[in-house]
Every structure is written in structure tokens, then in C-alpha cells.
């Protein structure tokens, strides 16, 4: 969320003033690069090829950055793995995910379900490392950009730095995360069905917010039934199957859940998927959300002892 342009006057009828932090905050794109001398911003994948490490650099001389979303241009579909070496090699997803499920275009950008903060104040230069794999079986040129904002706090006066840190804080309240099915769903025959699951990591609860899918062949229709492990809590009334166009969106137009769902650590969702297409199909399902990672957030999913009233989670930045 953008900082407010104006600060409210301290008294009715007072003067509206520009927020001084706005002078040191600006939108910014962060482009993935291979480091090659010629066209370093093009990630050239061979047929079913795997890229080496691709980096997204964040300059410590500028200041901290916050990522809001992803845009890309590619010849064909690809898988991606995103790693943050500055946070003990934290991986953004439980395994590789299809790029088309988390990336959009400038006209229809994919907004992350939780912004991702790159704090360079204590660690110097920061970066994300990407690993890509072609899914098409043909040469594939990929361009990827993260977009967000940079706080030029290194250049700000001491008073502005202090106010910036007061607003942003030092602690991570939650962490962006993507879940895909534990096992790939590949070559599912026409009319066939298979059971799968989405497993929550073992460290913190997961809050799901967006549903996206890609298929190969493209736009293959399917039906799905999904439920919580070991319960009767199903995602449709009477356990009825939902058509893909009723439940799943794309990276450009994700389906945003009308109510987020929090799953306990080590919990999982199960699902059955039916291929309604005429050909064997690969299905790439992605749930976008966040891990509730903070010592300030009690995990009421596991322990209700001491719960005395309405709980309010800390809001993310």
C-alpha cells in the first residue's frame, strides 16, 4: 500500500502537509539478469532446459525495497523456483511452480498475496536467486521483472530515517509463500481422475488467498473437489465438483478467495481432479498466500489455552 501523500492536520482547519517520506520513496522494477554480456535480461532456455542461477539484485546504496508483484514475457511455459539467500535460503514455494500461475503482464500484473520486504540495512547487498525450467520442449526466451517500491532511506535526513523505521519496523510479521500439489500432475488421461494434496510447511500456519492454474495443453478444462484433511469441511456444498472456470484463475487474473483460509502447520488439503479435455494433460495448481511467521502471533490453531477473546493478527506491511 502506498504511503499517504498528505498528513492530516493536527487540528480542524489546519494545514495539510506533504508526507516527507514520499520524497524518499519511489516505484521501482527489479529485473532478473543472467549476468551475460549480451542481452543479460533474457533468460534463454533450451528445449526442456534448466537455467543456471538467475539473480535479481537489490542495491544497498539505494535502501530497502518492498516487492508487490511479478510480470513476465516468455516464448512458452516454464517452471520457476525462487530462493532468498539473505534469509537462510528461504524458498518462496514448497517446490517448483509454473511461472504462468504467479506472473502477469503490465496490463494485468500479478500482485503478490503478501508483499515481500528486502531489508538491506544490516546485510548490505541483497538478491533473489531464480531457477527456471522450460516446459514446452522448444527454445524459450524469458524476461522477468518484480515490481514494487524502494525506500531511499540511506539518502534521507536522520529524522526521516527514524520515522521510516518507525512505520516499517524491524520484524517480519508474515512471509509470502506459494503451495502447489505435493506431486506433479502429469499426463492425466482424458476423462481420468487423480487425487492430490497441498501440504502446509511444518514451521508456521499458512493463510491461503489466491488460486491460479496453468495446463499443458493450454486451457484444458477440468473439475475439482477439495476438502480439509480428515474433516467434512469441503470447499463446495454437498461436495459437488467445481469446474475450473468456477474456481481457478490465472497469473493475470487470479481467483481471489472471498475469505482467506488459515491451515495449521503440517496440515493439508486433499483434492480430486478430473480431466475434461480430449488429451493427456499436465495440471499446474498454485495457492498463493502467506506463512504467519512471528513470535508475536500465537498459533491458536494448535493451542486454545489462554485464549480470552477476539484475536487480531498483526497486519502485514
Count Cβ neighbours within 10 Å for each residue of 255-294 and write b for 16 or more, e otherwise.
bebeeeebbbbebbbebebbbebeeebbbbbbbbbbbbbe
| Domains within the chain, CATH numbers bracketed | 23-157 (2.60.120), 178-291 (2.60.120)
What is the number of alpha carbons within 13 Å of residue 142 lying toward its C-beta?
36
Please tell me which of 14-23, 192-201, 305-314 the model is most confident about, judged by mean pLDDT: 192-201
pLDDT tens per residue across span 223-281: 999 999 877 789 999 989 999 999 999 999 999 999 999 998 899 999 999 999 999 99
Residue 312 has pLDDT above 50, yes or no: no
Closest among 268, 263, 262 to 195, alpha carbons compared: 268
DSSP structural state of residue 62:
T
Neighbours of 192 (CB within 10 A): 12
Instruction: Report the predicted TM-score, pTM, of the whole model to 2 decimal places.
Output: 0.88
Task: Tell me the pLDDT band of 170, cut-offs 50, 70 and 90.
Answer: low
Average pLDDT, the chain: 87
Amino acid at each position: 500500500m502506498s504511503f499517504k501523500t498528505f498528513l492530516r492536520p493536527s487540528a480542524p482547519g489546519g494545514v495539510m502537509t506533504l508526507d516527507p517520506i514520499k520524497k524518499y520513496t519511489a516505484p521501482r522494477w527489479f529485473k532478473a539478469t543472467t549476468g551475460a554480456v549480451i542481452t543479460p535480461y533474457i533468460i534463454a532456455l533450451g528445449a526442456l532446459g534448466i537455467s543456471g542461477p538467475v539473480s535479481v539484485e537489490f542495491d544497498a546504496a539505494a535502501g530497502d525495497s518492498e516487492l508487490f508483484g511479478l510480470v513476465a514475457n516468455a516464448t512458452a511455459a516454464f517452471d520457476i523456483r525462487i530462493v532468498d539467500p539473505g534469509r537462510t535460503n528461504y524458498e518462496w514455494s514448497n517446490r517448483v511452480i509454473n511461472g504462468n500461475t504467479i506472473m502477469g503482464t503490465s496490463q494485468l500484473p500479478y500482485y503478490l498475496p503478501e508483499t515481500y520486504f528486502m531489508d538491506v540495512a544490516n546485510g548490505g547487498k541483497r538478491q533473489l536467486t531464480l531457477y527456471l525450467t522450460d516446459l514446452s520442449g522448444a527454445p524459450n526466451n524469458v524476461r522477468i521483472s518484480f515490481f514494487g517500491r524502494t525506500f531511499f532511506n540511506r539518502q534521507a535526513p536522520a529524522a526521516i530515517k527514524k520515522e521510516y523505521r518507525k512505520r516499517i519496523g524491524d520484524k517480519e510479521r508474515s512471509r509470502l509463500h506459494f503451495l502447489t500439489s505435493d506431486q506433479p500432475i502429469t499426463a492425466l488421461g482424458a476423462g481420468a481422475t487423480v487425487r492430490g494434496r497441498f501440504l502446509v510447511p511444518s514451521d508456521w500456519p499458512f493463510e491461503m488467498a489466491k488460486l491460479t492454474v496453468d495446463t499443458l495443453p493450454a486451457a484444458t478444462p477440468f473439475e475439482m473437489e477439495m476438502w480439509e484433511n480428515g474433516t467434512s469441511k469441503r470447499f463446495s456444498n454437498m461436495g459437488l465438483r467445481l469446474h475450473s472456470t468456477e474456481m481457478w484463475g490465472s497469473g493475470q487474473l487470479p481467483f481471489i478467495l472471498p475469505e482467506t483460509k488459515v491451515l495449521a502447520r503440517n496440515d493439508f488439503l486433499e483434492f480430486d481432479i478430473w480431466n475434461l479435455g480430449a488429451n493427456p494433460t499436465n495440471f499446474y495448481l498454485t495457492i498463493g498466500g502467506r506463512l504467519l511467521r512471528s513470535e508475536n502471533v500465537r498459533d491458536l490453531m494448535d493451542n486454545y489455552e489462554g485464549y480470552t477473546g477476539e484475536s487480531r493478527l498483526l497486519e502485514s506491511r
